[in-house]
Structure 1
């Protein structure tokens, strides 16, 4: 049977959603592992990663059930959700790739001021103190604080920010096109007939 028929579309859609399931479980596992070993103490960061993983898992299960059963309603909602996620993810990836240095600094400072637990994590892991200027009269989690040789965290973070944004933007852009692929496969599969059953049936 030529690829593009009912069986091929069903198989491709199932494989794509199994990949989504694996990626979602990986996200949840990495967040739980980071919390378990104390790499991330910020509950909001861990919760956000787990929420994204759970959302992707639910969408993948909907797509997988719709593909296996050739269920018209599930496939419709799967297509609708994928299209919305594509718009959001494509916009975010373009923003990550197009952001300039001044916008990076502003976003980093806003993110820094939002969570004290994240500040502690970064100070400990990057061995730096405060954001713009080190205040030795305060407190800091970094080992360099006792020796008074710390650099501001903004200097170190900004050195990695550009590469990180390019990486995140590229990965996000790649996955956004897999969502378009999933949308197209679901649309094609939804309008095909299973010729192994009654040719007049359209389940």
Structure 2
């Protein structure tokens, strides 16, 4: 049997969805682990990561069931959802790779001002206080705050790592977006194939 036949396409689609299941469980596990050990105190961040993981798990489950049963309706909805996710993810990945330093600074400042819990996490992990300059009259969870004059602002430290993080996220996003378009192509191909093996069921 040459690759591209019914069984090969089915196995490829199943393998792709098993990969998505593993990634989704990894996302959920990492978010829960970070919350449990106090590495991330922001409930919104944890809930967002877990939400993405659950959504990916649901999509993978639909694709896996559709592939195993050759179910036309499940495969159709899986193909549509995966294509929409591909479009969104590719757009976000391209934006991450194209953003300049000034835009990075503006986005980091907006994100900093929106969540006090995130500020505390960053201050504690990077041992810094404030975004542009330390607030000596306020509070700070950083260890250096016992001697405030030794504290550096968090903004420059965050921005020094932001470009590398954005490139990494953009690269990973591009990689997974192409696996998604591969999934769309495999699903479209699989829906229009018939199992030619002996005793196979009718084409659904």
TM-score clears 0.5: yes
CA distance in 1, matches of 2:23, 2:174: 16
- Cα contact 2:195–2:201 (8 A) shared by 1: no
Matches within 5 A, 1:1-150: 1-148=1-148, 149-150=150-151
Two-structure CA RMSD over aligned residues (Å): 1.1
- Cα contact 2:63–2:74 (8 A) shared by 1: yes
- Spell out, residue by residue over 1:30-53, the C-alpha distance to the aligned partner (whole angstroms, 9 max, x if none): 000000000000000000000000
Sort the Cα spacing of 1:196 and 1:144 in 2 relative to 1 into closer, same or farther, 3 A: same
- Spell out, residue by residue over 1:60-114, the C-alpha distance to the aligned partner (whole angstroms, 9 max, x if none): 0000000000000000000000000000000000000000011000000000011
**Displacement after TM superposition at 1:129 (Å):** 0.3
CA distance in 1, matches of 2:11, 2:54: 23
CA distance in 2, matches of 1:74, 1:197: 25
Gaps of 5+ in 2: none
Report the secondary structure of 2:85's partner residue.
Answer: helix
The residue number in structure 2 matching 1:168 is 169
Gaps of 5+ in 1: none
- Count how many residue pairs are aligned between Structure 1 and Structure 2: 203
- Cα contact 2:9–2:186 (8 A) shared by 1: yes
CA distance in 1, matches of 2:60, 2:192: 20
CA distance in 2, matches of 1:155, 1:135: 16
CA distance in 1, matches of 2:12, 2:177: 17
Runs ≥4 residues deviating over 4 A: 197-200
- Spell out, residue by residue over 1:114-136, the C-alpha distance to the aligned partner (whole angstroms, 9 max, x if none): 11011000000000001011111
**Displacement after TM superposition at 1:200 (Å):** 8.8
Asked if 1:188 is matched to 2:195, the reply is no
